[in-house]
């Protein structure tokens, strides 16, 4: 399944640079954004899971949205 | 303050000591209002520095306030607001030395179960707690639904919204937020919109709250407003506890901040699923 995923390093010590380079150089995966502990990538989930077999301490999670809590009732459909 | 002059999107009564915009493609230094005003209102509840007659004070006006923007500019190319953005902001706030993190947002990817955790944000909160930082989160506004994630995470301090009759004009939209059960003082109620449940740790004022918006002040209601009231109070407590502030930045430190906060509450007479330990006061 193609999609946007987050790779988050939860291991001890610095993020393994060699693994990040492995992801960066993979032809089927694009790095969209990065931070000291995470990569936001676009690519096939199966490929990412295979890559993770070579490095431990990573979470692989689909990108998801958060929202602002709105206390007011919402109109499902504007009045005609 | 020079920084404020460079950030016209912030009201005069709100001063930031720093921050970061995590949205890819936007200026990382543009961490002021994104055009939605929500974050500016939240920030003012913590730290507005206005003075009478036109201005108002936040709960901890002397605090060093930093803004980590996770939603894109209104009408901009990227809406932001993803689990990646939130985790990145938490990580950055921890790295910048923040003591408290206020999170006035929720994740509703699973409508059947809003408490469903996201592993990335969950790990970021765990890392923050392990680094001595307390994370305070709005419980969500699904009309007495279960506490939403990330407030539902056991490491978060989850905050419900308290209202008080007589603090808003009758006939305004806030009147619709009144619902029983009422507290020992019958004027007090937990807002009809507020989520509740065993995950609630504290309650804070969240109905008809006046705070900063670009250009002045505005009224908002929500657990988003209750949350920064608790965060501001936590900042005041921490300001009085130098021993905790000096502690090594680890889990014991964030636990000590939480315990000090929980020990400084007033029981309003609601069941724990409504008010948790009570109202910080």
Predicted ipTM of the assembly: 0.89
Question: What residue of B is the nearest CA neighbor of A7?
Answer: B120
Average pLDDT of the residues in B229-256: 98
Of B24, B105, B140, the CB nearest to A33: B24
Tell me if B106 and A66 make a contact (CB, 8 A cut-off): yes
- Whole-number pLDDT of residue B11: 82
Count of CB pairs separated by less than 8 Å, A with B? 93
Tokens in use for A11? 């291991």
Average pLDDT of the residues in B65-83: 91
Q: Please check the confidence at residue B211 and state whether its pLDDT lies above 60.
A: yes
Cis peptide bond N-terminal to B53, omega within 30: yes
Mean of per-residue pLDDT scores for chain A = 89
Q: Please check the confidence at residue B3 and state whether its pLDDT lies above 80.
A: no
Kindly report the CA angle at B150 between B110 and B275, in degrees rounded to 5? 110
Tell me if A67 and B177 make a contact (CB, 8 A cut-off): no
- Whole-number pLDDT of residue A73: 56
Average pLDDT of the residues in B168-191: 95
Tell me the pTM: 0.93
Tokens in use for A74? 């919402």
Of B71, B31, B67, the closest CA to residue B47 belongs to: B67
| Alpha-carbon torsion (B6, B12, B17, B20), positive or negative | negative
Tell me if A68 and B36 make a contact (CB, 8 A cut-off): yes
**B20: number of CA atoms within 13 Å, CB side?**
16
Average pLDDT of the residues in A43-67: 93
Tell me if B83 and A61 make a contact (CB, 8 A cut-off): yes
Choose from A71, A72, A73, A74 for mutation: most chain B CBs within 10 A: A71
Of A65, A73, A55, the closest CA to residue A10 belongs to: A55
Q: Please check the confidence at residue A74 and state whether its pLDDT lies above 60.
A: no
Q: Using a CB-CB distance cutoff of 8 angstroms, which residues of chain B are in contact with residue A40?
A: 24, 84
Residue B215: DSSP 8-state: T
- Whole-number pLDDT of residue B5: 39
Q: Please check the confidence at residue A1 and state whether its pLDDT lies above 80.
A: no
Of B113, B129, B234, the closest CA to residue B121 belongs to: B129
Angstrom distance (rounded) from CA B26 to CA B23: 6
- Whole-number pLDDT of residue B69: 96
Of B223, B192, B228, B182, the closest CA to residue B206 belongs to: B223
Average pLDDT of the residues in A31-46: 96
Question: What residue of A is the nearest CA neighbor of B70?
Answer: A66
Which helix (H) or strand (E) segment is A60 a member of?
A: strand A58-62
């Amino acid at each position: 399944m193609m999609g946007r995923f987050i790779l988050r390093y939860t291991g001890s010590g610095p993020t393994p640079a060699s693994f990040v380079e492995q992801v960066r150089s993979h032809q089927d995966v694009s790095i969209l954004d990065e931070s000291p502990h995470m990569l936001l990538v676009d690519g096939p989930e199966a490929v990412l899971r295979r890559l993770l077999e070579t490095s431990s301490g990573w979470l692989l999670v689909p990108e998801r949205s958060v929202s602002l809590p709105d206390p007011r009732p919402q109109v499902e459909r504007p009045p005609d | 303050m020079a920084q404020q002059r460079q950030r016209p999107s912030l009201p005069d009564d709100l001063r930031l000591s720093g921050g970061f915009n995590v949205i890819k493609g936007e200026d990382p230094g543009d961490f002021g209002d994104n055009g939605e005003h929500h974050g500016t209102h939240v920030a003012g509840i913590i730290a507005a520095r206005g003075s009478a007659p036109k201005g108002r004070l936040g709960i901890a006006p002397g605090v060093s306030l930093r803004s980590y923007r996770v939603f894109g500019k209104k009408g901009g190319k990227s809406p932001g607001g993803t689990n990646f953005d939130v985790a990145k902001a938490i990580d950055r706030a921890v790295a910048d030395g923040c003591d408290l993190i206020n999170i006035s947002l929720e994740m509703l990817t699973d409508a059947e179960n809003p408490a469903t955790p996201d592993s990335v944000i969950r790990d970021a909160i765990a890392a923050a707690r392990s680094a001595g930082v307390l994370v305070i989160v709005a419980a969500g506004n699904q009309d007495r639904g279960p506490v939403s994630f990330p407030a539902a995470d056991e490491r978060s301090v989850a905050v419900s919204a308290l209202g008080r009759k007589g603090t808003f004009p009758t006939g305004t939209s806030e009147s619709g937020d009144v619902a029983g059960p009422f507290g020992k003082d019958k004027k007090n109620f937990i807002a009809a919109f507020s989520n509740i449940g065993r995950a609630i740790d504290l309650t804070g004022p969240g109905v008809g709250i006046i705070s900063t918006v670009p250009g002045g002040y505005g009224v908002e209601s929500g657990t988003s407003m209750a949350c920064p009231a608790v965060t501001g109070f936590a900042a005041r407590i921490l300001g009085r506890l130098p021993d905790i502030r000096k502690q090594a930045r680890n889990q014991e430190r964030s636990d000590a901040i939480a315990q000090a906060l929980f020990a400084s509450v007033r029981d309003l007479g609601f069941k724990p699923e409504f008010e948790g330990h009570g109202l910080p006061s």
